[in-house]
Amino acid sequence: MESFTDRAVNIIKSIPPGKVMTYGQIAKFSGQPRGSRQVVRILHSMSSKHQLPWHRVINAKGEIGLKNEEMYRVQKELLEEEGIEFIDRINLGVFLHHPEIDIY
C-alpha cells in the first residue's frame, strides 16, 4: 500500500507547467483531507530529493504561502515564467490543476 507521503509526492510531480494545486487539494487527493501541513512538510523536506515542482503549490486563497521575501519572489517568478498571471493572487478558476486520480 502506498503511503500518504508517496501519494503526495506523485501528485506534486504530476502538476503540469502553467497549473497550480493547493496544499489542501494535494492532501485530499493523497487520502488525508486534513493533511495540508503534512504537504508543507513534504515540500520542505523532499523537494530537492524528488525534484518536486514546489513552486506550483499554493494556498487555498490562490496566494503564495511563503513568508520569506526572497523565496516569495523566486516562486512568483517561476510561476510567471510558466504563464501564470497574478494580480494579488492566482485565479484558481483558470490555473487550478484537477488531477484525474481515484482517491479511494
Convert the pLDDT of each residue in 23-82 to its tens digit: 999 999 999 999 999 999 999 999 999 999 999 999 999 999 998 999 999 999 999 999
Q: Which of 6, 24, 27, 15 is nearest to 99 (CA)?
A: 15
Decide: 62 and 90 in contact? Cβ < 8 Å.
yes
Q: What is the mean pLDDT of residues 75-92?
A: 95
Domain assignment present for residue 24? The answer is yes
Q: Which residues contact 47 (CB under 8 A, 6 or more apart)?
A: 54
Domain assignment present for residue 34? The answer is yes
Q: How many CB atoms lie within 10 A of CB 88?
A: 7
Q: How far apart are CA 70 and CA 47, in angstroms?
A: 17
Q: State the pTM of this model.
A: 0.91
**pLDDT tier at 104, thresholds 50, 70, 90:** very low
CATH code for position 45: 1.10.10.10
Element spanning 21, H or E: strand 21-22
Range of the domain at 42: 4-95
Report the domain count for the chain: 1
Domain assignment present for residue 75? The answer is yes
